[in-house]
Amino acid sequence: VFQLSVPLNFLGSVYRELRQSLLDMETLFNLQKVNVAVKDKKDAKPLLLTGGEIRFENVTFGYRNDRPIVKNLSLTIPAGKKVAIVGPSGCGKSTILRLLFRYYDVQEGRILIDGQDIRDVSLDSLRKAIGVVPQDTPLFNNTVEHNIRYGNMEASHEEVVEAAKRAHVHESIQQFPDGYGTMVGERGMMISGGEKQRLAVSRIILKDPPLLFFDEATSALDTYTEQALMSHINSILKEKRRTSVFIAHRLRTVYDSDLIIVLKAGHVAESGTHAQLIDRAGLYAELWSAQETSFGGDPEEPNYSGEG
């Protein structure tokens, strides 16, 4: 597979200007992995979303043909459910997300969204249907307001503020020198990683895509802020019945998912709810107890044992 790596620093300011005007968040999210081999089929149709079910059927994929990262992987992310994909570092979690976005095509098997092979639908409609809150959110050299509104250019000021409130970033924004008019990005005010993540969440709340992915999205937040934000995200997802997938290291952020898929070396090691997986006493239970031990019984922390 031919792969184009864009030398970011090389193109300098021209590139930055271009980036601001041309590229959308999802492209930015994985700019260094632009794959020119992936193209629309001649007769590609727009993706038709019904419930938002995602299926991987016997998918095999490697960045190099001789080194599969994902091996004969089958999994179903049910429509309207909150699903977590967890597993040891390097097991292929982010790769699954890249395949779903069709940054790469699978070598074997297929990926279906509501029954449609993603190779048969237009890339544009596919990527529009999926919203990602990445680990590191790209910000535009523009105001805070613009950066949130990017999720939906038609949104009013009130809608932008409402999204910021729901993402727990409104209060921080009010402390900025020019509030929603404060310039951020490379040439603007420096904001914290946690604030950036919450701006990304506001953006996705405004965009309101049918399929949502959170790729370590709350990892820069302290545990307290993370819990508060997660509970808001959860209530929004429930209300709207969106299919959502959380890729997470910290199991505490996803223990309450409808389904937890545990990956190991590119295949599904086990899956189920938190309680089922704890009962199973397998890899998940092992990861859970390792993380609980390292958290070390903080009395301020709520207790998540058992049923959830």
Assess contact for 91 and 264: CB atoms under 8 A: yes
The minimum distance between CB 92 and ligand ATP, in angstroms, equals 4
Assess contact for 82 and 257: CB atoms under 8 A: yes
The minimum distance between CB 267 and ligand ATP, in angstroms, equals 12
Q: What are the φ and ψ backbone dihedral angles of 218, each rounded to 5 degrees? A: -115, 20
Q: 33 or 232, CB closer to ligand ATP? A: 33
Identify any residues that bridge with 2 across adjacent strands, giving them in sequence order.
none
The minimum distance between CB 98 and ligand ATP, in angstroms, equals 7
Assess contact for 225 and 63: CB atoms under 8 A: no
Q: List interacting residues with ligand ATP (CB under 6 A).
A: 33, 63, 69, 89-95
Q: 92 or 131, CB closer to ligand ATP? A: 92
The minimum distance between CB 30 and ligand ATP, in angstroms, equals 9
The minimum distance between CB 100 and ligand ATP, in angstroms, equals 12
What's the alpha-carbon Rg for the chain, to the nearest Å?
20
Instruction: Give, in order, the Cα–Cα distances in Å from 308 to each of 79, 157, 269.
Output: 22, 38, 22
User: What residue ranges in the chain does DSSP mark as E strands?
Assistant: 54-61, 70-77, 82-86, 108-113, 116-117, 130-133, 211-215, 243-247, 259-264, 267-272
The minimum distance between CB 19 and ligand ATP, in angstroms, equals 20
Q: 90 or 193, CB closer to ligand ATP? A: 90
Q: 34 or 48, CB closer to ligand ATP? A: 34
CA atoms within 13 A on the CB side of 218: 25
Give CA torsion, residues 260, 264, 268, 272, to 10 deg.
-30
Tokens of 165: 């409130």
The minimum distance between CB 91 and ligand ATP, in angstroms, equals 4
Q: 134 or 185, CB closer to ligand ATP? A: 134
Q: 176 or 284, CB closer to ligand ATP? A: 284
Q: 79 or 212, CB closer to ligand ATP? A: 212
- Which residue type is seen at 26? E
Using CA atoms, how far apart are residues 94 and 88, in angstroms rounded to an integer? 12
Contacts of 297 (CB under 8 A, 6+ apart): none
Q: 40 or 136, CB closer to ligand ATP? A: 136
Using CA atoms, how far apart are residues 210 and 166, in angstroms rounded to an integer? 18
The minimum distance between CB 104 and ligand ATP, in angstroms, equals 9
Tokens of 17: 């200007």
